[in-house]
Structure 1
């Protein structure tokens, strides 16, 4: 089985619609794909309706989180919430707060760019988001369309990264509160790309241990932003803490060069994951 447990659609910052996403997964030879848009379940229904025969869809959400260290250090991190009850009032209220904050943050960044003469508008960015959760890739695509940069990766490097003056911090949830919310809503929390150093600072192993004590069930081990040393370390840490080691592409369509299915979850790990008690079940011809 070929299993990719982390992908994004136009419901957040991917370029494939949910229907296009599941078709791309099937075309790439995947047997299982998880749709995990940022802080929203908006793509679930379309993905399930368009699901090709033979493909199993796992419903999930990527939760925007932060860890506040005892030394005052603030570290951004992401939590994948699989098979979670998206109608749970507490978690949906928190996701709504995060989505509203992303939109406000995007507007601030666009205003800063416009003030310096960059030929984009908030209307363009909103239209690119298509009613979904607004993210920096939408601003990047507007900059590409305006001829400012050749691609979204260049937009991040030159203008939109946290090291650039146009950047505005987005609201996040405390990671321990997020784990609690996910578990209370019947979800299975997995720490996304825990060692992706090139994205910024990462938390120490003792923090991951505390997350495991709080209810974390897995670590994303195989990920495009992990080099071989990161993968070996993450796999060892998962074994030490009794966590499942998953794998995925973190596919975003044309917003990133990474193809769907480039990193995968071992079928045995997947079976262990979906055997855990959860609010939902995978949807497919052979799903439990």
Structure 2
């Protein structure tokens, strides 16, 4: 059984519609896929409607968190999508994301990058604007050769000339919100240094005490040392270890299934959820 618990679609900053994501997942030999767009459940219905035979869909979301200036991402699975408090926080995050996007575009224009908010919004195609959309607009304008080159101190990377911070949840509160909504929280790529400062071990310990289920150790942004460290830490804290592709379509090279989660860990995750259930074809 091949299980990928982290993927994105055009409902947030992926490049493929939800229906294409689930179709590709099955083509790649996956049996289970979690759709975890940033701070939204907007892609779940379309993914479920297009679900191919033999693939199970795990409704999920990647929540934006921050502590001490560090960006932290929390994967949430099988929560109640109608939970009012969680919905309200997602709406607040989405509003802040648009404000950040507009300010980022303004700063880039001041730096001589010939892009407009309208161009960026068109790339988002009705979904909340994220930095990957801005990066793609920068590529189209010739400011950078690849989207990855935009995520540097030169441009929109953390601490960069055009970087803008925005509202995000404290991770402990996010864990508690997910649990209160019947969901299961997993910390995404906590030691991915290329994304900024890693999540401190003491913070992971605090999150474990708040109800964290696991850590995403097997991720392409983690080297062997980081994976081994997270496994030792998880074992000491009683946390599970997951593996996922964090696929964003073209932006990440269509890598669904490049990392996977152990079926026994997946079974325990599903058993802990009470807000929603995995979706299967009939």
Q: TM tier, shorter chain? A: over 0.9
Contiguous gaps of at least 5 residues in structure 1: 68-72
Shift of 1:147: 2.2
Question: What's the CA shift for 1:261?
Answer: 0.9
Q: 1:285 Cα shift?
A: 4.2
Which of 194, 199, 204 does residue 200 from structure 2 map onto? Answer: 204
Give SS of 2:158's match. Answer: coil
Distance 1:172 1:86 in 2: 19
Contact kept in structure 2, 1:249 and 1:258, CA below 8 Å: no
Give 1:37's aligned residue.
37
Q: Distance in 2 between matches of 1:75 and 1:164?
A: 14
> Are the equivalent residues in 2 in contact too, given 1:81–1:188 (CA < 8 A)?
yes
Give 1:255 shift: 1.6
**What is the deviation of 1:243?**
1.0
SS of aligned partner of 1:159: coil
Which residue pairs with 1:230 in the alignment? 226
Aligned partner of 2:151 in structure 1 is 156
TM-score, length basis structure 2: 0.96
Task: State the 1:209 CA deviation.
Answer: 1.2
Q: Is the 8 A contact 1:58 1:82 kept in 2?
A: yes
Which residue does 1:58 correspond to in 2?
58
Question: Which one of 131, 154, 161 corresponds to residue 136 of structure 1?
Answer: 131
Q: Does structure 2 retain, via aligned residues, the 8 Å contact 1:9–1:252?
A: yes
* 2:118 matched residue in structure 1: 123
Matches of 2:39 and 2:227, distance apart in 1: 26
Check conservation: 2:73, 2:188, Cα contact below 8 A: yes
Displaced runs of 4 or more, over 2 A = none
Distance between the aligned counterparts of 1:207 and 1:100, measured in 2? 27
Q: Could you give the per-residue CA deviations for residues 251-275 of structure 1, whole angstroms, max 9, x where no partner exists?
A: 0111223611111101111111111
Of the structure 1 ranges 178-187 and 114-123, higher mean CA displacement relative to structure 2 is found in 114-123
Q: Please, what is the CA RMSD of the aligned residues? A: 1.3
Farther-moved stretch of structure 1 (92-101 vs 108-117): 108-117
Q: Are 1:81 and 2:83 matched, yes or no?
A: no
Contact 2:79–2:273, Cα closer than 8 Å, also in 1: no
Aligned residue number for residue 214 of structure 1: 210
CA distance in 2 between counterparts of 1:246 and 1:217 reads 10
Other-structure match for 2:264: 268
Aligned to 2:8: 8
* TM-score, with length taken from structure 1: 0.94
Distance 1:196 1:260, change over 3 A: same
| 2:260 maps to 1:249 | no
Number of residues paired by the alignment?
281
**SS at 1:160's partner residue?**
coil
Q: Structure 1 residue 202: deviation in Å?
A: 1.9
**Matches for 1:92-107 after TM superposition, within 5 Å:** 92-107=87-102
